[in-house]
Structure 1
Amino acid sequence: MEHLSASEEIAEEAIRIDVEEDSSEPVSSDDDASSVGSSAPRQYSMMNSYRRPSYVNPGSRSTAIFSSSVPTEHNYLSKRERAAVREEERSLLRDNDLLPPKHPRRGSEGADAAGAAKRLSLSALRKVRSSSDEEAATNTEPSERTALLEGNPDLPYGGLDSPKTINKRWGEGVRDGKIHTTWQREAKHLTKTSAPLILTFLLQYSLPVASIFTVGHIGKVELGAVSLASMTAAITGYAVYQGLATSLDTLCAQAYGSGRPHLVGLQLQRTVYFLWLITIPISLVWAFGPQLLSAIVPDQETAKLAGLYLRILIAGAPGYAAFEAGKRYLQAQGLFSATMYILLICAPLNALMNYLFVWRLQWGFIGAPIAVSITENILPLLLFLYVRFIDGHQCWGGFDRKALSNWTPMMQLALPGLVMVLAEFLAFEILTLSSSWLPGRTPLAAQSILGSITGITFQIPFPISVAASTRIATYIGATLAQPAKTAAKVAMVFAVFVGFFNFALLALLRDSIPRLFTQDEDVIRMVSDLLPLCAAFQLFDALAANCNGILRGLGRQEVGGYVGLFAYYAVGLPISFGTGFGAGWGLYGLWSGPAIALVFVAGIEGWFIWRTSWERAVREAERRNGMG
């Protein structure tokens, strides 16, 4: 992966310059860093192969993610992350009988408990012990290895759960092929790791949906206008911020690993200043929103309302930019829960403000963008309070004039990220713009609801794919091919289950869901007629998202990128335009393109994964990481 190597070189050069300018600062060390090294070979360790969840939330859809945000060559983990990985290694060693059980066993009671534990253990579910193993288990005669295997029976894990011992046992277990997993373990892990991600994604996506939900009850013109404005803001503003902020995924990880935590804060300052500078041209585009949209959209009233929405959003742009950069500042320290806690406050507050401003205070349409702008400014404020009073302040060294220099590496990393995210936004958002050219105002209003509904359903399989890709990448890096394959199979089962759940939800509630967004009967009827089509591709949508996650875990994310771009731009969009406008199918034709494209993505990527050699993927990971 040449682009990853180039990113590494750029980031390392940026850190080198900062270090030279601040050579007097002592290098900090992780207390647990010294424990990483052991007699076990480096490539066997999950500690060295662990990769943080790497994702961008690109609005309602995600066609592909080309690159992993966190480089695979260097994994600078926080103490919390190290402890989590160490616990996972300890757990796997215990379940594979390479460490004693966690709880001490004593006397006959302990023997009974031991027998029950063996009968119920994951390893017992995986295979039936041979008669020789049973004889060995019943043999109470001590041997020369008894002390090594059992340790101190009065202590958890026999007192053998020190980092050094775990590293040694882990290396030996991997080398001898004794580390296995089960579908039960992987299902439990995937549920545990994806649940907070699903909640975070749903909360973040609820911010724009709250406006659509609230304004939709005013009228179909307002409903279409808020959808058109949200699409324009996403392409010309939010996608730009998210794309440019991806540079911090590499820069902050490198800064954190340099041993000078305050350099993470320095990179944050640079990116915030850069994003605020970019806010100037974004604000100009939004300020001339009414004129620009009037030249593109046939319905002038809809265009003017959408332009007014964009003008009000200017007030929230700097806050949104700061929040996008601040999220990555915390993620570099392994603090992923902070965003969820903040959104748990801001998402309900945003919905409440939408209701109060639009209906209780009777501000009408403009109340929605005012609520969004206020929310976007509260987000970075709460993030600052979290860092100041809870966690994350360790990497903040104060404001520094050096943040105004050495911008070149940041921009070199930011521009490819911008192109990546823009490509993802355009694939589906272009449907909104296309629907505005259909006759009447009903199609655009219906498109607003359909886009929101399918966007909400997508916030379930996509976070699952993020959690699965991290799990698979960790196993691959630790040279555990079969556990990685098992994790992928479990993720596919999850995707099928989620796909059928979303299908049933949309199909059964096709007449009820539209009424949550609007009272216009024409819009309700059109949405109700189209929901079966949207329900039909939910399975392929979930499978495509999951396949992308598996490919990222395998280090073959470029396959998902190219397949996605081909399917959406070379297959999906021509079919949409041909059937929607050429054949006169209207909005139904526009949605048929993405539906067929998703079948292509799921089919091609699924076939590629099915033909993949997991052992070869391990060897390729070793070569990429310079460990072979």
Structure 2
Amino acid sequence: MSFTYVHYSAPSSLPSDYALLSRYAAAHDLNSDTLDEQDEQMPSDGPSTHPDDDVLNTNAVAIPGRHNLARRSSFPTIYVTPFNPTTTGPLPDKSGYRSGPTKPTENTPLLGPLVPRIEEEVDGADNSEHASSMLWEEIRILGKYTLPVFGTHLLEYSLVIASVISIGHLSTTALAASTLGSMTASVSGFSIIQGFTSTLDTMLPGAWTSSQPQLVGLWAQRMTVVMAVTLIPIVCIWMGSESILLFLKQDPEVAHLAAVYLKYSIAGLPAYAFNAISRRYFQSQGLFTVPTRVILCVAPINALLNYLLVWGPEPFRLGFIGAPIATAISFNLISLASVVYGVFYVPKTAWHPISRRCFTSLGVLVQLGLAGVGQTASEWWSWELVGLAASLLGPVSLATQSVLLVSASTTFQAPFALSVATSVRVGNLLGERNGIRAASTTKAALLIGIAISLLWSAMFMIFRTKWAYIFNDDAEVVTLVASILPIVSLFQVFDGLSAVSGGILRAMGKQFTGALLNLSAYYVIGIPFGIWLAFKRDMGLHGLWVGLTISLIYASAVGVWICFKTDWEREVKKVQDRLEVDQETSVKVKRNDVEAAHAH
């Protein structure tokens, strides 16, 4: 598992996180008997003869005059009591069907007519109240949205931390080797898998709300085929990693141990890919607690395995290789638990029988997947490039980089969760044509982001001389970590602001602006400047972190400036125009699909 997996995988995980806060909250509390009755009543249009029927149906929306099956409740009511969800468009009548017009209204959310919004009590009020009152209201709402996402991400990241801590106390060389192995795994494997599977964030939710929910299972099967082929070159790279690392001028002992780490990690690679697919399969149906429950059960097992296989009694103790084996076992346990849950505890509404159709339309996934890899991997690779530069400074610097990066990644989970919550809230407000409150939400998010970042900064400064002992006992590593932590403390403030402003930009549909901002910050300013300081000015690892801090000062300053200069009424109009175009296009596409089916 890469140390940077959670911290720098925002683009691929964001759609699922939006769903965590919004999509499941709109579930209708229907029992299974009612749903069975609805299935029997649901009229069938027959198969479509359109060559791209699967693609078109994944984007289907409710059409006037056509019934749409209301899906089963996607989340138990007791889990969503803090939310007061509503959905746009017509609600099901007693028969379970939707009827009536679906023209976008002032309550239509940013992401379209069948994506639910989270309604708050303050949303019905006018905007004449005092600005400070509105600000405090939005702070409370954002806090409520942020906590569940933060908890989920932190739980996932515990799998990484357990491995780092268990290896870190073996030796500095072992920690450096595991860091190098993880960076190689991230660059050549995990980032590619996450990039490809992020395509399902687009395909599956639309399939679930269409008239053919079984396409969820079909697209998941197709992605499994794509992943099976993609894993072949990844496995080849990992098997021959030692020669590659030696070619890159790595320390021979560290390179050998890193290659060993990668070879044992191969046992968990297929499970890692499967988990990325199964997580989206469940989440597209609103079953967001399934992956969380599974990880909650596996996390303590993973910690126990790391102890037994790395430090445990003689019959179990394997030393260095115990950590990758423990991680691989944990990935496979997650896969097994997901299969069991999907087979025995989840209705088969979304499942498609395995057939030769899983080998069709693969080009769509490959095309979108490559774009996803480009979006996801660009930011991952920038941090791995910094790690590679740190490895050239020696094992002590590489081990120190591991401690610092894991620490920064852990604290990053809070502002990143806040950015997800902010994106959801601002998007809904723009869909409601409430630009004034969207502006207030922006200010509230930035204030919370600063407060969280200052809290982490203070923590690092107070415990800077003792912090490294959590991961490693080497005196050189402890001293170097303590000397760089003041820079990391400053880094925290701008890292948090950059994350929050990025969430606001995504809510406004300015992903391209955010991508350009990150690319220029890292590749044009931060990394080149940090490498120059590290190697030309002999600042070592200090120079690399100064460069990273400079890049985030630039990114956060420009991002915050864009947020404050935004014309929110103009953003509201852009959203409404986009919704009208999307609605007209969807109606035309669906009507053509229906006509083709009747002609057949």
**Which TM class, normalised by the smaller chain length?**
0.7 to 0.9
Q: How far apart are residue 566 of structure 1 and its match?
A: 0.2
Percent sequence identity over matched residues? 32
> Partners of 1:421 and 1:13 in 2: how far apart?
30
Q: What residue identity is the alignment partner of 1:301? A: E
Q: Write the letter of the residue equivalent to 1:328.
A: R
Residue 334 of structure 1 aligns to a residue in which SS? coil
Q: Does 1:374 find its partner at 2:403?
A: no
The equivalent of 2:29 in structure 1 is none
- Within the candidate set 534, 543, 547, 2:497 is matched to 543
SS of equivalent residue, structure 2 residue 448: helix
For residue 518 of structure 1, what is the amino acid of its counterpart?
N
Deviation at 1:574, TM superposition (A): 0.9
Q: Secondary structure of 1:543's match?
A: helix
Rg comparison, structure with higher value: 1
Out of 484, 487, 505, which is 1:530 matched to? 484
User: 1:41 Cα shift?
Assistant: 5.9
**1:246 paired to 2:198:** yes
- 597 and 287 in structure 1: CA distance in 2 versus 1, 3 angstrom threshold: same
Q: Check if 1:29 corresponds to 2:69.
A: yes
Distance 1:403 1:457 in 2: 41
Q: Could you tell me how far 1:96 is from its partner in structure 2?
A: 2.9
Residue 429 of structure 2 aligns to which amino acid in structure 1?
Y
In the alignment, structure 1 segments of 5+ residues that lack a partner are 1-11, 21-25, 51-71, 98-122, 129-179
| Residue 329 of structure 1: aligned partner | 281
**Which amino acid letter does the alignment assign opposite residue 88 of structure 1?**
E
Contact 2:217–2:351 (8 Å) recurs in 1: yes
Q: 1:416 to 1:542 in 2, by over 3 A?
A: same
Matches within 5 A, 1:195-234: 195-234=147-186
Query: Who is 1:425 aligned against?
Result: 380
Q: 8 Å contact 2:272–2:331 — kept in the other structure?
A: yes
Report the counterpart of residue 311 of structure 1 in structure 2.
Answer: 263
TM-score of the superposed pair, with normalisation by structure 2: 0.79
The residue aligned with 1:49 is 109
Partner amino acid for 1:592?
V
Cα distance 1:608–1:392, how it changes in 2: closer, same or farther (>3 A)?
A: farther
Shift of 1:13: 7.2
1:386 aligns with 2:305: no
Take 2:355 and 2:68, find their aligned partners in 1: how far apart are those partners? 19
User: What is the CA–CA distance in structure 1 between the aligned matches of 2:306 and 2:51, rounded to whole Å?
Assistant: 46
Of residues 236, 242, 252, the one that matches 2:188 is: 236
Q: Give the 3 Å change call, closer, same or farther, for CA 601–42 of structure 1 in structure 2.
A: same
Q: CA deviation at 1:536?
A: 1.1
Q: Structure 2: how far apart are the matches of 1:14 and 1:371?
A: 43
Where structure 2 has 5 or more consecutive residues not aligned to the other structure, the ranges are 1-49, 59-65, 72-86, 92-97, 583-600
Whether 1:404 and 2:359 are equivalent positions in the alignment is: yes
Query: SS in structure 2 opposite 1:507?
Result: helix
Partner of 1:413: 368
CA deviations on 1:64-110 (whole Å, 9 max, x unpaired) are xxxxxxxx3x4544xxxx5xx4x726x346x639xxxxxxxxxxxxx
1:354-397, CA deviations, whole angstroms, 9 ceiling, x for partnerless residues?
A: 11100003210000000011111112222223333444642113
1:142-157 equivalences under 5 Å are none
Q: Normalization by structure 1: what TM-score? A: 0.75
From the superposition, tell whether residues 564 and 583 of structure 1 become closer, same or farther in structure 2 (CA, over 3 Å): same
Matching residue of 2:125: 96
Separation (CA, whole Å) in 2 of partners of 1:268 and 1:75: 24
Displacement of 1:14 after TM fit?
Answer: 4.2
Query: Is the 1:480–1:618 contact (alpha carbons within 8 Å) kept by the matching residues of 2?
Result: yes
Q: 1:611–1:38: structure 2 CA closer, same or farther, 3 Å change rule?
A: farther
- Would the aligned equivalents of 2:104 and 2:113 in 1 still touch at CA under 8 Å? no
* Residue among 385, 390, 395 paired with 2:350: 395
The one-letter code sitting in structure 2 at the alignment partner of 1:578 is W
When residues 308 and 273 of structure 1 are mapped into structure 2, their CA distance, relative to the original with a 3 A threshold, is same
Query: 1:388-416, CA deviations, whole angstroms, 9 ceiling, x for partnerless residues?
Result: 34446421133232111121111111110
Which residue number corresponds to residue 186 of structure 1? 138
Amino acid at match of 1:290: E
Relative to structure 1, the CA distance from residue 201 to residue 562 in structure 2 (aligned partners, 3 Å threshold; closer, same or farther) is same
Q: Relative to 1, partners in 2 of residues 1:448 and 1:475: Cα closer, same or farther, differing over 3 Å?
A: same
Give how far 1:222 is off. 0.2
Correspondence for 2:411 among 449, 454, 457: 457
Structure 1 letter corresponding to 2:359? L
Structure 2: how far apart are the matches of 1:373 and 1:537? 33
Q: Report if aligned partners of 1:240, 1:422 keep a CA contact under 8 Å in 2.
A: yes
Matching residue's letter, 1:455: S
The 5 A counterparts of 1:72-151 are 72=111, 74=112, 76-77=114-115, 82=116, 85=117, 88=119, 91-92=121-122, 96=125, 126=129
Aligned partner letter, 1:373: A
Give the Cα–Cα distance (whole angstroms) in 2 for the partners of residues 19 and 199 of structure 1. Answer: 34
**How many corresponding residue pairs?**
501
> Is residue 43–residue 479 contact of structure 1 (8 Å, CA) maintained in 2?
no
User: 1:327: Cα distance to partner?
Assistant: 1.4
Q: How far did residue 489 of structure 1 move?
A: 1.5
CA shift digits 1:244-301 (9 cap, x unpaired): 0011111112322321110111000100121121111111111111221122143100
CA contact (8 A) 1:436 1:443 kept: yes
Contact 1:27 1:260 in 2 (8 A): no
Question: CA 1:611 to 1:319, structure 2 compared with 1: closer, same or farther past 3 Å?
Answer: same
Change (3 A) 1:280 1:27: farther
- Aligned mates of 1:268, 1:324 — CA distance in 2: 10
For the 8 Å contact 1:251–1:410, the answer to whether it is kept is: no
1:37, 1:472 → 2: CA distance?
A: 29
Q: Distance in 1 between matches of 2:462 and 2:200?
A: 43
Give the superposition deviation at 1:491. 1.0
Checking the alignment, whether the CA contact within 8 Å between 2:176 and 2:402 is kept in structure 1 is: yes
Partner secondary structure for residue 510 of structure 1: coil
Correspondence 1:272-291 to 2 at 5 A: 272-291=224-243
1:476 corresponds to 2:430: yes
Tell me whether 1:262 sits opposite 2:217 in the alignment.
Answer: no
| Structure 1 residue 622: Cα displacement | 1.7
* Pairwise CA distance, 1:28: 5.4
- Matched with 1:355 is 307
SS in 1 for 2:221: helix
Q: Report the counterpart of residue 168 of structure 1 in structure 2.
A: none
SS in 2 for 1:421: helix
Aligned pairs for 1:537-576 within 5 A: 537-576=491-530
**Residue of structure 2 in register with 1:434 after alignment:** 389
Deviation at 1:338, TM superposition (A): 2.4
> In the TM superposition, what are the counterparts of 1:572-591 in structure 2 within 5 Å?
572-591=526-545
C-alpha separation in 2, matches of 1:251 and 1:233: 27
Q: Is the 8 A contact 1:335 1:392 kept in 2?
A: no
Partner of 2:354, secondary structure, is coil
Query: Is 567-576 or 336-345 further displaced after alignment?
Result: 336-345
CA RMSD between the two structures: 2.6
Kindly state the Cα deviation for residue 27 of structure 1 after the two structures are TM-superposed.
8.2
CA–CA separation in structure 1 for the residues paired with 2:546 and 2:52: 47
Contact 1:43 1:627 in 2 (8 A): no
Is contact 1:203-1:343 (8 Å) kept? Answer: yes
**Bigger Cα displacement from structure 2, 300-309 vs 452-461:** 452-461
